[in-house]
Amino acid sequence: MKHPWLVKRPISPWLPGGLSRQNKPNRTERPVLDQDKCNKCQLCWIYCADGVVKRAEQMSIDYEYCKGCGVCAIECPRGAITMVREGTE
Ligand code: SF4
Ligand code: SF4
């Protein structure tokens, strides 16, 4: 059996290996990103301590690992991220 620390998880930009666990079941809110408002400044990627914001052609969030802390929504200078209660649209 693989040791839990050897299980593949997203890599945080600041902490090698990251702190992420699968947080989907424990989350009360999730960040929803409005691509029309996003200018790809990458601040959400920098501030997310769990390294679950993905940089590609469009920014995206890995909801399997996001813990719903809301830091990305607070730091986004464009107001492109809104925290939405789980179980709602
Ligand atoms: S911080 Fe906001 S504007 Fe910047 S990349 Fe993230 S979602 Fe887009
Ligand atoms: S709410 Fe935002 S900052 Fe917090 S874990 Fe999820 S993506 Fe990262």
Full set of structural domains in the chain with CATH: 4-85 (3.30.70.20)
Distance from residue 74's CA to the centre of ligand 2 (Å): 10
8 Å CB contact between 43 and 75: yes
- Signed CA dihedral, 43, 46, 50, 51: sign only: positive
Q: Distance (Å, rounded) from C-alpha 29 to C-alpha 15? A: 24
pLDDT tens-place string over residues 78-88:
999 999 999 87
Distance from residue 71's CA to the centre of ligand 2 (Å): 6
What is the reported pLDDT for 16? 43
Task: Give the SS3 label for residue 4.
Answer: helix
pLDDT tens-place string over residues 1-52:
556 555 555 555 554 444 556 677 778 999 999 999 999 999 999 999 989 9
Residue 73 CB–ligand 1 contact under 6 Å: no
Residue 70 CB–ligand 2 contact under 6 Å: yes
What is the reported pLDDT for 17? 42
pTM of the model: 0.79
What is the reported pLDDT for 54? 95
